[in-house]
Structures are given as structure tokens and as C-alpha cells.
Amino acid sequence: MAAFDHMVAATPGFRSRTGQRDMAQAITTTLAGVDLGAHDEPNRAIAVIQAGTGVGKSAAYAATLVPMAQARKTRLLISTATVALQEQLMTKDLPALAAVLPTPFTYALAKGRARYVCKLKLEQWSGLPGVNSVEMFEADEDVPPSPSTLARASGKSQDPDERRMELFDSLAQALANGSWNGDRDQLAEQPDGQDWALVAAERHTCTVRHCPRFRQCSYYQARNALAEADVIVANHDLVLASLGMKTLPDLDNCLIVFDEGHHLPAVALDQFSSSMDLSNLRWLDRLPRIMLEVGEKMHSELGEDVTTLARDLKAALHDLGRLMMDLLRSTVVGYDGTQRWPSGVLPEALHEPVALALRLATSLAKVLDDLGAAIKLLARDDPSQALHCSMLYARLGPL
Ligand code: SF4
């Protein structure tokens, strides 16, 4: 509590409210005995606190937990549900606290990968030399042709494509001359979502260390900066998505605050569930074609007849969709239009069709994984192929 009282005394005009001090006291008492790191039977400590608007919650937890993290030589991770609260922490609460605490501390905002540009993709789209001649996104029905290609083919620029080409050229130049760090939120004007999606950093298309642009990669540079920070501000989505992914520091070793924690259940449901549109299965036509094409470029045998597997999977999912519609018609769906089965147990009628779809999908996924692993291996063993490999990997990624 001494740290909280110090913050109150040292901040001009700050008047602590009763609820706020109670909250700081509850946090201090609860977390004082927590075990951090690996222990056989760790002493876990969780304080669940509900406090109304205006109590000054962020000041209460930050003023107590930043010094506690410093004393325990660990970090504080603050997770929020809204951008507004993140901004308040980054621009108001944490700078104010840093100004009065006796021991300096650093803080950084953790963002999802897709907030950063993928340098490799941007070079391709902006037509910079180096990657232009390599087949990263050859035109297929779901990927729009490169704007450079469009402009060249038509002999004159058309409006949306010209706009996109200009955007990518200007982003590439800003990145190259250091006036932009690759963070979408740092752009004066926000790009169109569809345009940005073409150049956003993405896990599934990234070969990480094997990428020839890894050392200059905006996302990985931002991640390295996070490793230096004493306090990290993130959001619930990112924290839950990072479990087991090493995107954020080891959570067992941090003090963690889930502010706006009442949003956690919905975010968790979103993060740990999957969905599929059974009425749109065209991607299964594209999948074997791209796999065969990449396999050929890798001089790799795929080991399975992916064309037949994909065709059978498409038929199995189609049948499953029809069966689901019959089931839904004959039962009462939930209040929100969702069909839930008691304890999540599927009806007997679905067992066989789901098992068939799973078996086919697993076989295809294995071929895809093996191909991805072969590409990474080649990039590692022969760095002169790294660029080519990164392009092929990016082609497989969306699948
Ligand atoms: S490391 Fe990954 S995200 Fe970064 S430039 Fe390379 S492919 Fe893109």
C-alpha cells in the first residue's frame, strides 16, 4: 500500500476515493503471496474486483502492481477489452504513474500481428525489385491480380486499382525511408480493410526466421521491443490467442490484470471455437490445385492423391450440410438461432458423416503440413532459396 499512498501524495490534485483505496488494499493483500514461475504446487492468487465507473480502478491496480512487479523482478501485463481503455492507459495513467514512481519503468502496447505490415508481401504488391518476378500470389479466382499487373496489362490505370497501387507504393517508400514503422495505427490515413489485408503480417503465410526480410520485419521488431518493457498493455483477444504461442512473455511469470474482465467469457468463446460455412466449399477446388503446383515447384511428391481427397471431402461436407439442415428443421433451435446439444454430445446420425469428414480433412492437412515443413527445411538448408521458399509458403498459408 505504501506505493499507492506514495502515488496519491506525489500526484498534484489527486484525491483517492474510498473504494479505490479498498481496491488497492485487496490487490496488495491477495497478490503478495503469489508464486511466479514453475512450482509443483504454486500458490495461485486471484483477486476478483467489481467497481463502478469513476472509482479510479486503473490507478489503483497500476500504482500497486507496477512496484510489486519491479520488486519481484517480473512484468505486469494489463489486458483490456477496448481500445479506449488501452489509449487511456498508454497516454494518461501509465505516463502519470511513471512521473511519480521513484523507480523508472517502461511500458509498451502489444498488438496483434495483423496490425503490422508484412514487408515481403508489400514488396510484391508494390512491385519493388527483388520479389517481383517470383510467383507469390498468382492470380486465381479468390485473389485479385496484383495492381502492378493490372496496370501493366491495361496500359492505363483504373481507379480502385490505381488507388491500391499508389497506397502500396507510398507504404513501401515510407517503410524504406524510415518515416513509417509498419504499424497500421501509425498511418495518418487508415487504408481500406481489403487493401490492408493483402499486405498484413499473418502467421500462416510467414516462415519467420527463414524469411529473407525477418531482420527488418516490423512485427518482429515490435515484438522484440515488447520483451524489454516492464509493463505490457494488451487486449483479451491477443492474450488468449497467445497462449502457447510465445507471442507475449511467459504468462506464468507475470502479474496479470484483466481489466474489463466481464468481456472475457465472450472473447474466450470466440477464440476457442471454430466455424465453417458448409454452403461455400469452393476453396476445396482450389486447394489441390495449389498444393500440386507448390509440390511441383518444390520437386516434391505429395504422397497422397490430393485431388481425390479434396473432392471426397467436398462431397462429405456437402452431405453433412444437408443432414444438418434436416436435423435443424426437425428440432427446436436455441434462443439465438444456435443448436446446442446437451453436454456437447453429437446426435448419433452425425457420427459417421463427421468422422468421414474428419478423416479426409486430417489426411489433407497432413499433406499440407508436410509440404510446409519441406519448404521451411529447404529455406533453412539453402538460404539462397529463402525468398522463393517464403513465396511458396505464403501461397500455401491461406489454405
Ligand atoms: S517475417 Fe513474416 S511477417 Fe515479417 S516480412 Fe517475413 S513473411 Fe512477412
Q: Is the CB of 136 under 6 A from ligand 1?
A: no
Query: Dihedral, CA atoms, 255, 52, 235, 224, nearest 10 degrees?
Result: -50
Among the listed residues 238, 149, 160, the one whose alpha carbon sits nearest the alpha carbon of residue 192:
160
pLDDT per residue, tens digit, the chain (399 aa), is 788 888 888 888 888 888 899 999 999 999 988 888 888 888 889 999 999 888 899 999 999 999 999 999 999 999 999 989 999 999 999 999 999 998 999 999 999 899 999 999 998 888 655 444 344 444 444 544 444 444 444 444 456 778 888 899 999 999 999 999 999 999 999 999 989 998 999 988 898 988 989 999 999 999 988 888 999 999 999 999 888 777 888 888 899 999 999 999 999 999 998 888 888 999 999 999 999 999 999 988 898 999 999 999 999 999 999 998 888 887 777 777 778 888 989 889 999 999 999 999 999 999 999 999 999 999 999 988 888 898 899 888 888
Answer for the pair 364, 310: CB distance below 8 angstroms, yes or no: yes
Give the integer Cα–Cα distance in Å for 4 and 28: 10
* Cβ 115 under 6 angstroms from ligand 1: no
Residue 224 within any structural domain of the chain: no
CB 394 within 8 A of CB 121: yes
The total of structural domains in the chain comes to: 3
C-alpha grid cell, residue 195:
487493401
The SS3 assignment for 106 reads coil
79 and 130 share a domain?
no
pLDDT of residue 147: 44
What tens digit of pLDDT does each residue of 380-389 get?
A: 999 888 888 9
Do 97 and 149 lie in one domain? The reply is no
Judgement on whether residues 82 and 155 belong to the same structural domain of the protein: no
Q: What is the pLDDT of residue 6?
A: 83
- Are 88 and 154 within one domain? no
Judge if 181 and 85 occupy the same domain. no
Q: Report how far residue 217's alpha carbon sits from residue 235's, in angstroms, rounded to the nearest whole number.
A: 22
Asked whether residue 30 is domain-assigned, the answer is: yes
CA of 219 to the centre of ligand 1 (A): 8
- Say how many Å lie between the CA of residue 215 and the centre of ligand 1: 9
**Cα 315 from Cα 332, distance rounded (Å):** 27
User: In residues, how long is the chain?
Assistant: 399
Residues 53 and 20 placed together within one structural domain of the fold? yes
**108 CB within 6 A, ligand 1:** no
Helix ranges, the chain (H): 2-10, 18-31, 57-71, 83-88, 94-100, 119-126, 147-154, 159-176, 193-199, 218-228, 236-241, 264-271, 283-297, 306-330, 348-381, 386-396
Which residues are within 8 A (CB) of 113 and not within 5 positions of it... i.e. 6 or more apart? 200, 201, 202, 203, 219, 247
Task: Choose which residue among 120, 136, 196, 247 to substitute to test ligand 1 binding: the one with the highest number of ligand atoms within 8 A of its C-beta.
Answer: 120
11-60 residue pLDDT tens? 888 888 888 999 999 999 999 888 888 888 888 899 999 998 888 999 99
- Do 290 and 390 share a structural domain? yes
Please tell me whether residues 191 and 131 are part of one structural domain. yes
Residue with cell 508436410: 370
Dump pLDDT digits (tens) for 218-256.
Answer: 999 999 888 889 999 999 999 998 887 778 888 888 999
Which has the closest alpha carbon to 388: 120, 142, 56?
Answer: 120
CA–CA distance, 396 with 399 (Å, rounded to integer): 6
Q: CA 364, 369, 375: angle at the middle one, nearest 5?
A: 130
- What is the pLDDT, as a whole number, of residue 286? 92
Is residue 227 domain-resident? Answer: no
Look-up of cell digits 520479389: 131
Query: Does residue 238 fall inside a structural domain?
Result: no
Q: From CA 241, how far away is CA 111, in angstroms rounded? A: 11
Whether this model's pTM surpasses 0.95: no
Residue 131 belongs to domain spanning: 114-218
Identify whether 244 is part of a domain: no
Q: Are residues 88 and 126 in the same domain?
A: no
390 domain residue, yes or no = yes
Torsion on CA atoms 201, 205, 207, 211, rounded to nearest 10: -60
User: Could you tell me the distance, in angstroms and rounded to a whole number, from the CA of residue 163 to the centre of ligand 1?
Assistant: 24
Shared-domain flag, residues 288 and 370: yes
Residue nearest to atom 4 of ligand 1 (CA): 217
Nearest to residue 116, comparing CAs of 38, 207, 220, 205?
220
Q: Beta strand pairing status for 75-80 and 107-109?
A: unpaired
Which of 7, 62, 65 has the alpha carbon at shortest distance from 36?
65
CA of 380 to the centre of ligand 1 (A): 15
* Nearest Cα to Cα of residue 6 among 103, 88, 92, 81: 103
Does residue 116's CB lie within 6 angstroms of at least one atom of ligand 1? no
